[in-house]
Structure 1
């Protein structure tokens, strides 16, 4: 074998070794991120076991959210470390290694925001909480597909929360969840989804909506649906 060919293939081997080293560094960091995601999920799962207390329920849920936000602080550091390891302009070369945990964290951020203020989280807010960029042009960023798949995981969690809320004696929350998930469903219907994974997961959203509507319907026929709160009359001038 000529010296020239040997040099060429040695350079190939150096490239492969370097890539393997990068992948291993990414794997170690992603493993830490996955552990943080599990810890946050374990904290937030307590919402399903909280017995309804009109006075203290919001305080208890707020405590879960506060503990979750503390761990998100660790997640920001972990993503910063990940961004240092991933070479510039090679984000999508290694994206598969952190894609699924990022989707889960998007869901967890969305759940915390919903529990705190009952609104749908924005993509830039999720990026800020995770400590990554919002736009691809800025570097290590939050992929739009990961964000959307995280929101779709939220609908499944809220459908379960609606059922468990009734079990725990909270008849107001399923009404709130039904309104929110219907709005989320309407938002996704505005998108022309051609991606197979997004399309498949969006189809599951329909069943989440149906499940929540059945909970609300059951409350109605049992006479447990809370009456609308009277609105104050606007004083005439």
Structure 2
């Protein structure tokens, strides 16, 4: 019957489209997680003097990411973003974290959602198609907080006593911002609940510096370090 033929044709096209999408997504994931000492391993270099060079190299990798995201965008109808959102949600969240980490290392500021979207070559406005969902942005920022908590500890080990104080200020401001949000997403809410442990971990590092008398040295050197 004609209806059956149309259904089979539609199903076949859907399978082909999804195959192309999965190929594009797989390529994107591989570039993100398999390159040695690339974006996903930036933390190994954050307390060295080569931070600017590493950040520049990371931004070069984002050029590859933009190309792969551009390919991914062509595999899905623009008006069906959320139908397939789960396929790339985790990857985008990870990319947000990496972009936020690079920007923090460069300027010790929080990257905006619009800036991340520009770095990734996608839209910030959901009405314009393939975009950076606000919850994906927030999840990536929360991952940044966890990474900065580890960086605070590693900085002390490396003898950089000023950085934990600056990280503490940054994380406390971030926590204050999240407190203003009414988070209803269960997954995002759980991620946010973990922020208090990051705050506590950094506070313990700062307190340890204080009782060891190293915070005075940190305060003096904070301006030049930055």
Superposition TM-score, scaled by structure 2 size = 0.91
Alignment map for 1:46-195 (pairs within 5 Å): 46-47=44-45, 50=47, 57=49, 60-195=50-185
Q: Distance in 2 between matches of 1:180 and 1:153?
A: 14
**1:43: Cα distance to partner?**
4.1
Residue deviations 1:35-66 (CA, integer Å, cap 9, x gap):
22223334413225x45xxxxx2xx1111101
Q: Distance in 1 between matches of 2:196 and 2:45?
A: 23
Of 4, 8, 18, the match for 1:13? 8
- Say which one has the larger Rg: 1
Q: Distance in 1 between matches of 2:215 and 2:104?
A: 22
Q: Distance in 1 between matches of 2:83 and 2:14?
A: 10
Q: Structure 1: where are the runs of 5+ without partners?
A: 1-5, 52-56, 231-237
Does the aligned pair in 2 maintain the 1:23–1:94 contact within 8 Å? no
Structure 1 counterpart SS, 2:160: coil
Aligned match of 2:191: 201
Q: Structure 2: where are the runs of 5+ without partners?
A: 222-226
Q: Distance in 2 between matches of 1:154 and 1:17?
A: 41
Aligned match of 1:32: 27
RMSD value over aligned CA atoms? 1.5
Which aligned runs of 4 or more in structure 1 are off by greater than 4 angstroms? none
Residue deviations 1:67-111 (CA, integer Å, cap 9, x gap):
100000011111111111111311111111111000000000000
Aligned match of 1:54: none
Does the aligned pair in 1 maintain the 2:152–2:164 contact within 8 Å? yes
